[in-house]
Amino acid sequence: MKRIVETTDAGLESVLGETVLFLCMNYFYVGTLVGVNKDHVELSNAKLVYETGPWKERGFKDAQALPFDTFRVQIDAIESWGVVDEG
């Protein structure tokens, strides 16, 4: 497991500590990226996004908190991802 460190790589490691949205094969997940390794990513404050609402609006129409301190998503399941602008 890798933890928050400085990096110049534009991959997942470069956004450790940021709130990210993962668009996966079956579900969308949002949370703070706290860990990355070759097999999975680890989120804290993770939510399962059931309905995004309009993409140009902040937040999500229906995002429900998952009952875990940390939640892992397999990297092979991630189709795309991005940093969430919470400002």
Instruction: Give CA–CA dist 2/17, Å, rounded.
Output: 12
CATH topology of domain 14-83: SH3 type barrels. (2.30.30)
Mean pLDDT value of segment 40-63: 95
Q: Are 35 and 1 in contact (CB under 8 A)?
A: yes
Strands 62-65 vs 28-36: parallel, antiparallel or unpaired: unpaired
pLDDT for res 3:
74
Radius of gyration over alpha carbons of the chain, in Å?
12
Question: Which band of pLDDT confidence, cut at 50, 70 and 90, is reported for residue 7?
Answer: low
Q: What pTM, to 2 d.p., does this model score?
A: 0.85
Q: Are 42 and 35 in contact (CB under 8 A)?
A: yes
> Hey, what amino acid is at 65?
A
